[in-house]
């Protein structure tokens, strides 16, 4: 586990995880943060219901930009992970198709910005979403989501001096949620490639904030 700085993390539970992918070209205007890896997993069979959540402030302006949550309710045989943009002007990349829709699991190099590339067949919609979207779910509601492993979540960050675009490297399934690192483009309204990092000497952000919300569970 990486050391935890009090200025970086306000948390009571942090565990390790690993992700690897080829990074797109670096740019000096990109701000990157390699946080202590976080691993959430649904509780044991004796734990009827509960949830874990993490809220991230990517640009360290004191306003959380996104909430990532894992939850379960064994009485309803429901297990899920989802993401919710926070703050005015914030959003995330959404992909929709019949019966399967939610926050998109982006590959390295995908351009995250004001304009999004058309969706791949057979999907019918790719756009910015400002509300809660499933990453993955296992229930009768049909909101299955697109995630099934490691990928990038594309984010739009609203701020008083302009919109920024960024990514979170993470892995999601209906029973697990892992968060690894994130970055954003510091130039207002400029796109960022998923996985892009600062150029050598470009500097990194060391004061981003992460809040981890405690587990709430009911036992049989």
Look at residue 200 in the predicted model and tell me its pLDDT: 76
Separation CA 47–CA 38 (nearest Å) = 21
Look at residue 111 in the predicted model and tell me its pLDDT: 97
Determine how β-strand 209-219 pairs with β-strand 66-73: unpaired
> Does 129 have pLDDT greater than 90?
yes
Look at residue 216 in the predicted model and tell me its pLDDT: 46
- Minimum mean pLDDT range among 23-32, 52-61, 121-130: 23-32
Please give the residue that has the higher pLDDT: either 152 or 19.
152
Look at residue 211 in the predicted model and tell me its pLDDT: 62
Separation CA 29–CA 87 (nearest Å) = 23
Torsions phi, psi for 201 (to 5 deg) = 85, 0
Would you call the peptide bond into 113 cis, given omega within 30 degrees of 0 as the criterion? no
Q: Model's pTM, two decimal places?
A: 0.83
Look at residue 144 in the predicted model and tell me its pLDDT: 76
CA distances from 138 to 82, 86, 126, 142, 190 (A): 12, 25, 23, 8, 36
Look at residue 4 in the predicted model and tell me its pLDDT: 26
- pLDDT confidence tier of residue 23, bands split at 50, 70 and 90: very low
Q: What is the mean pLDDT of residues 170-174?
A: 94
Torsions phi, psi for 120 (to 5 deg) = -75, 150
The tokens for 11 are 């948390």
Direct distance between the N- and C-terminal alpha carbons of the chain, in angstroms, rounded to an integer = 33
Q: Is the dihedral of CA 72, 99, 122, 114 positive or negative?
A: negative
- pLDDT confidence tier of residue 213, bands split at 50, 70 and 90: low
Please give the residue that has the higher pLDDT: either 204 or 146.
146
Please give the residue that has the higher pLDDT: either 215 or 65.
65
The tokens for 210 are 């992460």
CB-hemisphere CA count at 13 Å for 209? Answer: 13
**DSSP letter (8 states) at residue 120:** P
Q: What percent of the chain has pLDDT over 70?
A: 76
Strands (E), the chain: 9-10, 30-33, 38-41, 47-57, 66-73, 78-85, 91-97, 100-103, 111-112, 125-129, 133-138, 149-157, 164-172, 176-185, 192-193, 209-219
Look at residue 206 in the predicted model and tell me its pLDDT: 41
């Amino acid at each position: 586990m990486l050391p935890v700085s009090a200025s970086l993390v306000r948390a009571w539970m942090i565990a390790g995880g690993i992700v690897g992918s080829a990074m797109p070209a670096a740019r000096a205007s990109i701000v990157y943060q390699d946080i202590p890896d976080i691993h959430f997993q649904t509780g044991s069979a004796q734990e009827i219901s509960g949830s874990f959540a993490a809220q991230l402030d990517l640009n360290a302006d004191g306003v959380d930009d996104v909430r990532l949550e894992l939850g379960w309710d064994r009485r309803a045989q429901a297990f899920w992970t989802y993401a919710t943009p926070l703050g005015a002007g914030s959003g995330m990349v959404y992909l929709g198709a019949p019966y399967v829709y939610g926050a998109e699991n982006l590959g390295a190099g995908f351009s995250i910005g004001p304009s999004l590339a058309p969706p791949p067949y057979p999907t019918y919609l790719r756009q910015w979403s400002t509300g809660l979207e499933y990453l993955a779910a296992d229930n009768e509601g049909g909101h299955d989501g697109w995630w099934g492993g490691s990928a990038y979540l594309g984010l739009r960050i609203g701020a008083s001096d302009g919109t920024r675009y960024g990514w979170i490297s993470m892995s999601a399934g209906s029973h697990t949620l892992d968060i690894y690192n994130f970055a954003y483009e510091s130039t207002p309204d400029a796109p960022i490639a998923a996985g892009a990092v600062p150029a050598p000497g470009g500097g990194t952000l060391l004061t981003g904030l992460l809040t981890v919300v405690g587990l709430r569970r009911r036992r049989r």
